Amino acid sequence: MVTSFEAMAYQPSNIKQYFSDSTVFLTGGTGLLGKLILQKLLRSCDGINKIYILIREKKGKSVQKRYEELLESMIFDRLKELQPQFREKIGLIVGDCLLPNLNLKTEDRHKLIREVNCVLHCAATVRFDEKLRTATYINVRATRDLLRLCKQMKDLTSFVHVSTAYSNCIYQEIKETFYEPPVTGINLLQLVDTFDDDFLESITPGLIGDRPNTYAFTKAVAENVVKEEGKGLPIAIVRPSIVISTCKEPIPGWMDTVYGAVGATVGVGLGLVRTMHHKAYKIADLVPADYVINCAIAAAWDNGTKKLDNNKAVEERSDENNIEIYNYVSSVQNPITWNDFMKYTEKHGLHIPTALMIWYPFLISNSYYIFHVICVFFLHTVPAYIVDLMAYCLGKQPRLVKGYQKINKFLDVLAYFSTNQWKFHDDNTQELWKKLNDEDKYIFQFDIGKMNWDNYCFTYARGGRLYILKDPLDTVPYGKRKYFMLKVIHYTLVGFLSLGLYRLAMLCWKTLVGSI
């Protein structure tokens, strides 16, 4: 029986109430953050009316096929148990962010305009080495076209744009505000619409300037588009730093992409990545994916329920100062260095070595790029050519050289973020967390300050094995035996090579002395 005190103490979820009977339009629903948002809203906001997800055909797969594959993900298993009829609340919108006006059908546009209350824009190309044209169309033009569509939505209460904390990485100190874009969205679109791919590729390095890649460059331009095109709309921007595996939900340690820090960690565990260019004492600004999406959902709620001072019209919210920007980072409240993160991950990873490892896992950390290049040659390139030569002689397809070319390119891209450090501000994010009542803080956890990194790295290492490598825990005994065997082979080989180099050096020395 509930006492009167307990009844008074209980606070219903404000976020659930906001989404009750509402209709949401979600872009990027098949991506990492998008699919996490989809399952979270359906699972935790059971009163939600409808979630429309934008989805396109890809690599010969139909929209329906991709939708079915999306729902086959294990992150929807819990939802299927709690709400077997959840599919009734999902609506498919066929479209493509790579094409003008999202390539929406007329009837779908009218449906969205008529029904949608909240838009969560997660769609983006996150490939750091994406071609300028593709990055511009997806990250910039699609954002512009979506905002123009939103202006026709009479019942829209909130628009959340998911950006990146590194959109303004040319500055050492990054506040929760807008910065001058490298180029306006109008000018960038005119540029890519005018010239061919060869010309665009030739000018890309000069165009992006000090920014590390086309992703950060186009995300900076996209934020300017949000500011200019979003006038009159209730907008919030969420800027996560480096997104890694989930911390708690729907499955601890879950991740389905090998981009970023997760890919590097898995590569080390397999014995493939043996050298990295990073500065161990620099802060690793890492954030769990489930915390990121909870922050975005909370931002949508706060943005949608915010009362206008002095009964101001919605149109007067066009000033950039009325667009809330949330830097979702860990470096302010709960910093961890790359060295500590890797130590924790190694500690827990050694208890569950993967049975799929191809060599004894070790990593040489290089603060100086020249040493990293030397290590890449001897630890990646030379072994790759030797293995491919052996494969060729055995009549098998040589693959390792091409594989390492991709790995080395990936490591070079990651090095920008692991050799630099920024001073972020997250005052708005902290204030947003304080606005949540106890029930919402329990359901939509994103307080990064209370996360224990050691405990998280246990989840992280375990998740990499289970969900990236698809290597079940019942192979751990075999993985340990394989680890020991490869360790013996590795150090035996190192010993013979060291002895050979020593004898070669002595021979050269004797030859040199004898010639004097």
Average pLDDT over residues 359-383: 91
The amino acid sitting at 380 is: H
The mean pLDDT of the chain is: 90
Q: Please give the sequence-ordered ranges of beta strands (E in DSSP) within 96-193, or none if there are none.
A: 118-121, 158-162, 173-174
pLDDT confidence of residue 511: 78
pLDDT on residue 310: 33
pTM over 0.75, yes/no: yes
Paired strand residues for 132: none
> Residue 49, exposed/middle/buried by CB under 10 A (0-12, 13-18, 19+)?
middle
- Helix then strand then coil, % of the chain, to nearest 5: 55, 10, 35
CA dist., res. 46 & res. 20, Å (int): 8
Residue whose token pair is 């090998």:
258
Share of the chain above pLDDT 70, in %: 95
Give the pLDDT score at 9: 56
CATH fold label, 10-254+284-333+423-448: Rossmann fold (3.40.50)
Please compute the mean of the pLDDT values over residues 464-487 and round it to a whole number. Answer: 94
Measure the CA–CA gap between 222 and 179, rounded to whole angstroms. Answer: 11
Locate 397 and state its tokens: 């397809």
Q: What is the pLDDT of residue 505?
A: 82
SS (H, E, C) 14-52: HHHHHHCCCEEEEECCCCHHHHHHHHHHHHHCCCCCEEE
- Whether the CB-CB separation of 115 and 50 falls below 8 Å is answered with yes
Average confidence (pLDDT) over 183-195? 94
Residue ranges per structural domain of the chain: 10-254+284-333+423-448
Give the model's pLDDT for residue 307.
Answer: 40
Are 24 and 50 a contacting pair, CB within 8 Å? yes
Segment 287-338, tens digit of pLDDT: 999 999 999 999 999 999 874 333 344 444 545 557 999 999 999 999 999 9
